[in-house]
Structure 1
Amino acid sequence: MTINKKMEAKIGFIVQARMGSTRLPGKSLMKIGDKEMLLFLIERLEMVKHEKEIVLATTTSDLDDYLVKFATQKGLAVFRGS
């Protein structure tokens, strides 16, 4: 799912993540126990009483394709940019 004008009014949270970190590559999807770090954040945001969309913002890098796949499987909207 991509962001368009119609969705702009529905956005409640934008979560920025990328896989290409130099100090700890892939940390967004590293697991703490049995859950990915990004999933912990998503679940906490979903606890907030809101009617708005959670959007994952990431880069156009091929490395971030993993994040896009993860986010879409969780039902999140995705924005990719540089």
Structure 2
Amino acid sequence: MCYRDRAGGYTRLLRTRIRVGDAAPMAYIEFIDRENELRQSKPPTPQPPQRPSLDPWTRSRLSRQFAPPKEEKSSESEI
């Protein structure tokens, strides 16, 4: 009973592997004792700017311009 005198605080859950026998998820629970042990959250990573959507006419022109070349059909059958 080493935490009998503890007034309160934070806990940390560390998820570990799945148990082999019954596939139960396992985790460690830790009591955070020191004030400096609390970590600040990282700021979110900036998202890349969104491109405006193309109108249908421009989209069809670009798809024709960058489309792979079509194979020509030969009338002779290859042997």
TM-score (norm: length of structure 2): 0.20
More helix by share: 1
TM-score (norm: length of structure 1): 0.19
More strand by share: 1
